[in-house]
Structure 1
Amino acid sequence: MRLAVTAMALAAAFLGASAVQAQDPIKIGALYNLTGGLSSLDGPSLNGAKLAAKQINGDGGLMGRPIELIAVDTKTDQQETAKAAQRVLSDGVVAGIGQSDTTFVMAAAPLFQEKGIPFVTSGATHPMLPQWVGNYMFMTPFGDDDQSYAIADYAYDKLGARRVAVWTDNSMDFTKALSKFFVERFEERGGEIVGKDIFMMGDTDFSAQIARLQAIEPKPDAVFISAIPSEAGLTVKQIREQGIDMPIVSGDGFDTELVSTTPGPDLANDVYFSTHTYRADDRPEVGQFIADYKVEYGREPENSFAPLGYDALMLVADAIKRAQSAEPDKIRDALEATRGFKGVTGEISYTRESMVPPKPISVISVQNGKYNVEEIWTP
């Protein structure tokens, strides 16, 4: 009798431990620059990821377990980013998401690779990232080659530009790649690059670059500015204040409210940039996300980086569901096998050898501070 009771007690204890174990959270790291020059991209992106986690947990979690998002502000600083990666890895995360810029992904993702933990960037776009980091690195967005080609084609075909000056933030991998691919495509189309200039992240005075731009004869048809958000708004403001009215073209670093708020609506004109398909998109995934975001945060999504954060976490969740496992190796394998994932920012499939998803790209115009989708470019 005593043996039976003991066995029953042991069984009950085992079942109780199993129930508790089943409820242990699935920890996912979220590394974002919530302060500094990239905060206007990364803040909305983290909000998108938080919304995804809330919805997943509201639907019962994954395999009956809640998601715990461990978010850290990486402060637009590479050393802080590396420290944050080490911190969340020591906390037992099974995957990481985050960062809207290649330089900061490269400060974090290799540490995840070393530990055999998948890392999914929500917004970094350098097409070499999966090759640089390794087979645990995945991209939610398109590559810089695709988005640079999109805006180069638009400048050539729709703006009629044939002579373009190029400004590049020379401190960032993303901005250097963007300019490289823009120049490649624009010259391939028959256009001419008539001047190149550089600046650095954190610069606030662009008078020297503007003077050199004004000195180019004949006058360029447009200026391509490869910048992150903090410099995007400032360059538009200072160029327009000097009476220069030529089109300003760029990539998704310009997908920020700073392009309109920093110069003000009177000066925020004839700006065009390539970015992620989201604005003015009538797909049901987009409408639902906008409605849900507005309920959660009391405002519409600030830019396309909000749905990119949402998509990044949902990609990880989808992989866990298909793998029926929260083991990092199995999550990695399921991520690699992703085909036809219907994200808010477009369908994601890892079909290219480069592991960069081929996604459609929006070209946005800014006139009087208002954003409008001009066309969708398909690779």
Structure 2
Amino acid sequence: MLRLIAASVAVATTLGAAQAQENIKIGALYNVTGGMSSLDGPSLKGAQLAVKQLNADGGLLGKQIELIAPDGKTDQQETAKAAQRVLSEGVVAGIGQSDTTFVMAGAPLFQEEGVPFVTSGATHPELPQWVGDYMFMTPFGDDDQSYAIADYAYDDLGARKVAVWTDNSMDFTKALSKFFVERFEEKGGEIIGTDSFMMGDTDFSAQIARLASMDPQPDAVFISAIPSEAGLSVKQIREQGITMPIVSGDGFDTELVSTVPGPELANDVYFSTHTYRADDRPEVTKFIEDYKGEYGIEPENAFAPLGYDAIMLVADAIRRADSAEPAAIKDALAETRGFKGVTGEISYTRETMVPPKPVSIISVQGGKFEVEEIWKPEMN
């Protein structure tokens, strides 16, 4: 009898292992704790929603999808370990990360193993060149979003003299400032002061004192930051009675810009981000309904649909390739044209492999977010 039970357990274990092998495994690299969590958390939730919907519709190639998502903890070493872990578990593709620095901690490992990696939110336009032909981007590039907010600052806010603050610890933030300065000066604007800080800084009093003492005063301050510093910088600037417009990129697309300063101080903030808010396309309407149905809240920011789009890009490639082999998925991804994502249409038509997507300009007044305009990129 004992031998019979043991044999039955062995058979059940073997069947369980076989079923597990039947799943199509996708790695999801996100920082759900630490300074990137307000972007990565919603992005992972969007990815999980996509997987749930795909599996409910029968999965891919007749198999269920399994999402493996260890926490990178907003730490580059932990992110590298997470990448090694998911690769060791046989993933056919990876998605994730809302920041370039963390993509660079994990994506090169995917390249080495010949497994495609699709970033859901990292925006440095040179990422595909840095990593290689297995690297793909769901979002636009920092050049596009920086140009968009520079155009808005100059054309709509009437800014002619701007101060620039940069988080010097991040590839993303340094690129954002570089492209902003490039575009603003090209339009005839002047950068009359620069300052810097590092990820994790919580006291901006020195930078604020230097900003307040500038003569002449700038028409606006551009702050290139990730979410944890975005809300704090707005709060501390406004607490010192400085009312000039604050402009930035998608690192400001976080509820922290409203909740940390509070509605009385969260005013005259403008940032560029992924086209999603106040968009009446059917893909957007359905995603908001589905997300609210799954999580009981509306999507926190544009990074939630970006996570969703990243999974759906991979799924679309698997279907078109009719294969879950990493090399076949990579080839199909490279041929993506006219993919209708929640955050806009995605086509890899540029030599850079950065999709030319529209950019939303968002204003924050009284703690409320509103779309001001949609900026269209050059398509080449």
Give the TM-score of the pair, scaled to structure 2: 0.94
Equivalent-residue separation in structure 2 for 1:85 and 1:113 (angstroms): 11
Offset of 1:374 from its aligned partner? 0.1
Offset of 1:178 from its aligned partner? 0.1
The yes-or-no answer on 1:312 pairing with 2:305 is no
The equivalent position to 1:54 in structure 2, one of 38, 52, 55, is 52
Cα root mean square deviation, aligned: 1.2
The equivalent position to 1:269 in structure 2, one of 267, 270, 285, is 267
Equivalent-residue separation in structure 2 for 1:134 and 1:44 (angstroms): 27
Equivalent-residue separation in structure 2 for 1:98 and 1:108 (angstroms): 10
Give 3-state SS (helix, strand or coil) of 1:72's partner.
coil
The yes-or-no answer on 1:105 pairing with 2:103 is yes
Residue identity in the other structure for 2:223: I
The yes-or-no answer on 1:236 pairing with 2:234 is yes
Unpaired runs of 5+ residues, structure 1, are: 1-16
Aligned residue number for residue 352 of structure 1: 350
Q: Contact (CA 8 Å) 1:23, 1:66: kept in 2 or not?
A: no
Equivalent-residue separation in structure 2 for 1:93 and 1:159 (angstroms): 47
Q: Contact (CA 8 Å) 1:99, 1:122: kept in 2 or not?
A: yes
Map residues 139-218 of structure 1 onto 2, 5 A cutoff: 139-218=137-216
Residue identity in the other structure for 1:319: A
Give 3-state SS (helix, strand or coil) of 1:231's partner.
helix
Aligned residue number for residue 13 of structure 1: none
Q: Contact (CA 8 Å) 1:98, 1:123: kept in 2 or not?
A: yes
Aligned residue number for residue 67 of structure 2: 69
Cα distance change on mapping 1:22 and 1:369 into 2, 3 Å: closer
Aligned residue number for residue 79 of structure 2: 81
Offset of 1:290 from its aligned partner? 0.1
Offset of 1:215 from its aligned partner? 1.0
How many residues align? The count is 362
Equivalent-residue separation in structure 2 for 1:267 and 1:215 (angstroms): 21
Aligned residue number for residue 14 of structure 1: none
Residue identity in the other structure for 2:183: R
Equivalent-residue separation in structure 2 for 1:38 and 1:368 (angstroms): 24
Residue identity in the other structure for 2:249: G
Give 3-state SS (helix, strand or coil) of 1:224's partner.
strand
Equivalent-residue separation in structure 2 for 1:298 and 1:245 (angstroms): 36
Give 3-state SS (helix, strand or coil) of 2:229's partner.
helix
Map residues 228-377 of structure 1 onto 2, 5 A cutoff: 228-377=226-375
Give 3-state SS (helix, strand or coil) of 1:62's partner.
coil
Residue identity in the other structure for 2:251: G
Offset of 1:21 from its aligned partner? 6.9
Equivalent-residue separation in structure 2 for 1:325 and 1:358 (angstroms): 27
Offset of 1:353 from its aligned partner? 0.2
Equivalent-residue separation in structure 2 for 1:144 and 1:97 (angstroms): 19
Equivalent-residue separation in structure 1 for 2:198 and 2:326 (angstroms): 37
Residue identity in the other structure for 1:182: F
Residue identity in the other structure for 1:65: K
Equivalent-residue separation in structure 2 for 1:164 and 1:207 (angstroms): 19
Give the TM-score of the pair, scaled to structure 1: 0.94
Cα distance change on mapping 1:22 and 1:29 into 2, 3 Å: closer
Give 3-state SS (helix, strand or coil) of 2:349's partner.
coil
Offset of 1:150 from its aligned partner? 0.1
Aligned residue number for residue 5 of structure 2: none
Cα distance change on mapping 1:21 and 1:265 into 2, 3 Å: closer
Once the two structures are superposed, residues 282-304 of structure 1 have per-residue CA deviations (whole angstroms, 9 ceiling, x without a partner) of 00000000000000000000000
Offset of 1:324 from its aligned partner? 0.3
**What fraction of aligned residue pairs are identical, expressed as a percent?**
84
